[in-house]
Amino acid sequence: MFDTGSGHVIIPSSECLSGTCRIHRRFDRTLSDLAIDVDYDGAIVKPGQPRDQITVSFGTGEVTGEFVQDTLCLGEKSLEKPLDEKAEKSELAYPELQEVDCIKMRVVLANEMTQEPFQSFAFDGVLGLGLQGLALAPEFNFFGQMVKAGRIREPIFGVFLADSDDEESEISIGGISPQHVNGNLTWAPVAMPELGYWQIRIKTMRIGGQIVDFCNGVEANCRAVVDTGTSLIAVPASVVDEMHTTLSNALVQKDKYLENHGCQGLVGANLTFELEDGFIITLKPEDYARQSAAPSSNTTANGQEIPNIICRPTLMPLELPAPLGPKLFIWGEPVLRQYYTVYDWEKQRIGFGTSVHIKDHEVLPDPEASSPDSVVV
């Protein structure tokens, strides 16, 4: 998983024997001729010596691991074993490393991974793409090391998130994928880049066109972290109930339509965020709502209750102290599916453009239209 909210490369270690680790491909550092056990500062650790450890939190779970220095390469090219297998562990023994996109960096080897959320993840590790402030040292930061080594054309990367099984998510390192974005990009400066997060300032927030006072005014200081590793929208705890109620009251549930199309095309109030330069991030009801079961008076012949399937706003409460909080939002997948985002490492800014999806070329039924066999009187 590529994660703009993390600053490290994290992979399961072969020494992790828990069920959560065993369902993933694990890395055996003894099989790498270039791997060296190190502490966080790069000091070499000899066998049997105590080692530094790190615990990294990911929403509902965490990872604990140790450090190794190794050479990380992009692509699928296999390297030939050196002719002299007794040669010292060195890139000089692999001259072809100079011909591919490889960098030397420090990696976190996970010895413990909590069941939640990693048990349900298909990916094996985490490719942290946060700014330098999220890494223990520059040598842990993948993108920073790529830029320093001159391995990429431009110090940017673009992210496209699929919104159906008919598409594949994509990250473009060193450029963008123009086929995934409609029109020009609008850029917003990163706020407080020293903290390491790709975060931007929110000028105004509206629900259905009505300004929400929480983010109104020069001193409001609302910000949003753009995070590819978060599946929902996180909202400051002090305003989450108000927003949930307002958004819920505006939703129009249409049973037959929801049964066939989920929350797609759901009628309700848009949630919008205005950035400093005037660019508007718009989330429609189908973007922020998820299907759930609600109590019903309908029962089957044997007396079992038949739940109603409705769509509800799905907002995750977030409570953080300063300097990140307390007015911090996290824009996860609901935003990133609608907007192609580009992260400029050198100029410390984020570009936004409307994503182009397969569904954009399809004509969806109108939930307000009458069915073919209905009669309008």
pLDDT of residue 375: 25
97 pLDDT exceeds 80? Answer: no
Residue 114, both tokens: 């909590």
How many folded domains does the chain comprise? 2
Same domain flag for 47 and 141: yes
Exposed, middle or buried, 245 (CB in 10 Å: 0-12/13-18/19+)? exposed
List the Cα angle 83/85/87 in 5-degree steps.
Answer: 95
Average pLDDT over residues 101-125: 87
Same domain flag for 114 and 209: no
Domain encompassing residue 134: 2-81+90-151
339 within some domain = yes
User: What's the pLDDT tens digit per position in 119-147?
Assistant: 878 888 899 999 999 999 999 999 999 99
144 within some domain = yes
Same domain flag for 287 and 183: yes
User: What's the pLDDT tens digit per position in 160-192?
Assistant: 999 888 899 999 999 999 999 998 999 999 999
Q: What is the DSSP letter of 152?
A: S
Nearest to 291 by CA among 253, 322, 326: 253
Q: At 199, which CATH number? A: 2.40.70.10
252 φ/ψ angles, rounded to the nearest 5 degrees: -110, 110
Average pLDDT over residues 21-47: 92
